């Protein structure tokens, strides 16, 4: 099965948003991608925060850590088709989060997953 992120891999510098697949409602207006080894390793490390409306997708990945981070984040685990498997809200520094069956991890500003209406079982898609 092809990943819901497949279009992003071949798109170069094109920008993307994440939408609810069911109604095309935008849930993450500005999506950053960490889909190569170097960008996956770096993630959000070294940043002071994550702007409102921005999210970072790390793929492939089924686990992330918040060691050395300076701010809390929401962590959303997604399967290969973009279905939300698990949400860990407001994860502070020095934590590890994982979902054994996840294909990708979406990192959002703390509180953004609830504010965007993202729930377990939703399917997210690139736009």
* Inside any domain, residue 101: yes
Q: What is the pLDDT of residue 24?
A: 97
The model's pTM: 0.92
Do 88 and 113 form a contact (C-beta atoms < 8 A)?
Answer: no
* Inside any domain, residue 54: yes
Q: Is 100 left (phi over 0), alpha (psi -120 to 50) or beta?
A: alpha
* Residue 112 DSSP SS3: helix
Average pLDDT along the chain: 92
* Inside any domain, residue 112: yes
Q: What is the pLDDT of residue 51?
A: 92
Q: What is the pLDDT of residues 16-73, one digit of tens each?
A: 999 999 999 999 999 999 887 776 777 777 778 899 999 999 999 999 999 999 999 9
**Rounded to 10 degrees, what is the CA torsion of 80, 23, 87, 121?**
-70
Task: Say which CATH number the domain at 61 has.
Answer: 2.60.120.1140
* Residue 4 DSSP SS3: coil
Q: How far is residue 72's CA from residue 108's CA, in Å, rounded to a whole number?
A: 9
Cα distances from 14 to residues 26, 71, 73, in angstroms, run 17, 27, 25
Q: What is the pLDDT of residues 112-125, one digit of tens each?
A: 999 999 999 999 99
* Inside any domain, residue 26: yes
pLDDT band (50, 70, 90) for residue 7 = confident
* Inside any domain, residue 3: no
CA-nearest of 57, 50, 51 to 16 is 57
How many domains are contained in the chain?
1
Residue 101 has pLDDT above 70, yes or no: yes
Residues 6+ apart with CB under 8 A from 109: 49, 50, 51, 52, 54, 71, 73, 74
Residue 53 belongs to what domain range? 16-126
Q: How far is residue 77's CA from residue 83's CA, in Å, rounded to a whole number?
A: 8
């Amino acid at each position: 099965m092809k990943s819901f992120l497949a279009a992003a891999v071949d798109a170069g510098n094109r920008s993307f948003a994440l939408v609810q697949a069911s109604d095309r409602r935008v849930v993450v207006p500005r999506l950053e991608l960490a889909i190569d080894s170097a960008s996956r390793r770096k993630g959000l490390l070294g940043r002071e925060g994550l702007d409102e409306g921005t999210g970072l997708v790390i793929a492939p990945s089924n686990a992330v850590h918040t060691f050395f981070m300076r701010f809390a984040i929401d962590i959303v685990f997604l399967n290969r088709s973009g279905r939300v498997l698990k949400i860990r809200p407001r994860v502070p520094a020095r934590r590890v989060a994982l979902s054994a069956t996840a294909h990708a991890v979406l990192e959002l500003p703390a509180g953004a997953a609830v504010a965007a209406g993202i729930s377990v079982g939703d399917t997210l898609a690139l736009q």
